[in-house]
Amino acid sequence: MFSLPKNATIIEVGPRDGLQNEGKLVKTEDKLQFIAALQQAGIQEMELTSFVSPKWVPQMADAKEIVAQTKKVGRQFVLTPNERGINAALESGAQSLAVFVGVSNTFNKKNINKTTEESMEALKPLIINLKKQDVFVRACISTAFYCPFEGAVSQEATLALCRQFVEWGVDELSVADTIGMANPKESYELFANLVEAFPDVLITAHFHDTRRMALANISAALQAGVTRFDASAGGLGGCPFAPGATGNVATEDVVNMLHRMDVQTGIDLDMLCQAIEKIEPHVTNPVTTGMYTLYKNQA
Ligand code: HMG
Ligand code: MG
């Protein structure tokens, strides 16, 4: 039987993953208006920005202002790659942090200039310390299925990395198909194993939509018991250090699919499209996702 939960949670990653790869610098005030409109649409969990090196990701250079000027609604994440980022994020008032590591060494080196092992060694004391301070920690696991440089990634390697994070006390694992290559069978198998292995941790699926399989992968992850999905309004985004990766699955298309199956998200689809209208003039490419296109044609 096709089993579905009554509710699912969307973690909106548009202001972070959606914009980090945008070549044209978006003004802080335009990002803030986008974030406010997303909140009005009912988004309760959001990645706001990243405290990363502005030399590596110039678009995120205004992280401090973004955190300071965003109204506190629900759970708001900022990405932090290292101790410096963690300290800056906490000083700016961030209460929930996301750390990120690639299962694949080559990708991790290109993304954070460390091998996976070096990253994990550095993160261990930092995470243990954050949990002593009762900070919510989300661990983002990149290249959980495929790596743009190394190819297929074994499920065992992904599960082993996740297990380390769980042992250090993280609250959430956001497990990512960074280059949008996984298929629904792989999605079901990995997420079923994650849900079974880590029952006390929030398990979130993060799909990029490069090969247009993200909605099918979400449907498979739902069957595996996942109820939390990262998504980016307008399908914006991608990782600048993952060649060929396009944007995340579009929030409006995920919300539509879930609502059509009577899985509630608390998000108003029209208001979500209004939020996309706010950011669309400031990004390079027009938004062509299914539900946003329908919304524009109706208007
Ligand atoms: P590095 O060059 O090895 O570090 O970069 P460093 O310690 O030598 O520092 C280099 C410069 O950056 C120095 O400045 C530091 O002070 C500064 P300089 O002396 O040259 O003027 N610096 C910082 N500045 C601000 N905030 C900091 C910070 N740390 C150092 N936190 C580093 C290492 C990690 C900094 C760099 O590689 C970096 O910033 N990487 C970020 C990459 C990134 O943001 N990737 C995208 C996010 S992950 C993602 O999208 C995947 C995800 O969506 C899931 C999925 O889809 O797979 C989550
Ligand atoms: Mg991503």
Ranges of each domain in the chain:
9-298
- Tens digit of each residue's pLDDT (9 = 90 or more) over 133-156: 999 999 999 999 999 999 999 999
* Pocket-testing residue among 20, 53, 104, ligand 1, by greatest number of atoms within 8 A of Cβ: 53
* pLDDT, position 143: 98
* pLDDT, position 267: 98
Pocket of ligand 1 (CB under 6 A): 17, 20, 50-53, 55-57, 79, 81-82, 84-85, 100, 111-113, 140, 142, 176, 178, 206, 208, 239, 241
3-state SS, residue 75: strand
* pLDDT, position 280: 97
Rounded to the nearest 5 degrees, what angle is found at the Cα of 280, between the Cα atoms of 265 and 233? 20
**Residue found by looking up tokens 């992968």 in the block:** 217
User: What are the CA-CA distances from residue 299 to residues 41, 61, 113, 159 (Å)?
Assistant: 18, 35, 46, 46
Is the pLDDT reported for residue 164 higher than 90?
Answer: yes
* pLDDT, position 237: 87
3-state SS, residue 88: helix
- Nearest listed ligand to the Cα of residue 147: 1
Read off the tokens for 244.
Answer: 């060929």
- Tens digit of each residue's pLDDT (9 = 90 or more) over 182-207: 999 999 999 999 999 999 999 999 99
**Residue found by looking up tokens 């996309």 in the block:** 276
| CA–CA separation, 230 and 85 (whole Å) | 22
Ligand 1 centroid to 110 CA: how many Å?
10
For residue 177, the 8-state DSSP code is: E
| CA–CA separation, 49 and 60 (whole Å) | 6
* pLDDT, position 14: 98
Is the pLDDT reported for residue 239 higher than 90?
Answer: no
* pLDDT, position 20: 96
| Ligand 1 atom closest to residue 100's alpha carbon, by position in its atom list | 58
213: confidence class by pLDDT, cuts 50, 70, 90: very high
Q: What is the mean pLDDT of the chain?
A: 97
Q: What is the DSSP string of 206-251?
A: EEB-TTS-HHHHHHHHHHTT--EEEEBGGG----TTSTT--PBPBH
Question: 93: Cβ–Cβ under 8 A, 6 or more apart, which residues?
Answer: 67, 68
* pLDDT, position 1: 84
- Tens digit of each residue's pLDDT (9 = 90 or more) over 71-108: 999 999 999 999 999 999 999 999 999 999 999 999 99
* pLDDT, position 299: 76
Q: Give me the torsion for CA of 259, 261, 263, 267, rounded to 10°.
A: -10
- Nearest listed ligand to the Cα of residue 178: 1
The CATH number of 9-298, from 3.40.50.10860, 3.90.1150.10, 3.40.120.10, 3.20.20.70, is 3.20.20.70
Residues 151-170: what's their mean pLDDT? 98
| CA–CA separation, 195 and 189 (whole Å) | 10
Q: Which of 140, 162, 239, 273 is catalytic?
A: 239
* Pocket-testing residue among 46, 48, 52, ligand 1, by greatest number of atoms within 8 A of Cβ: 52
Clarify whether 147 is annotated catalytic.
no
Ligand 2 centroid to 223 CA: how many Å?
22
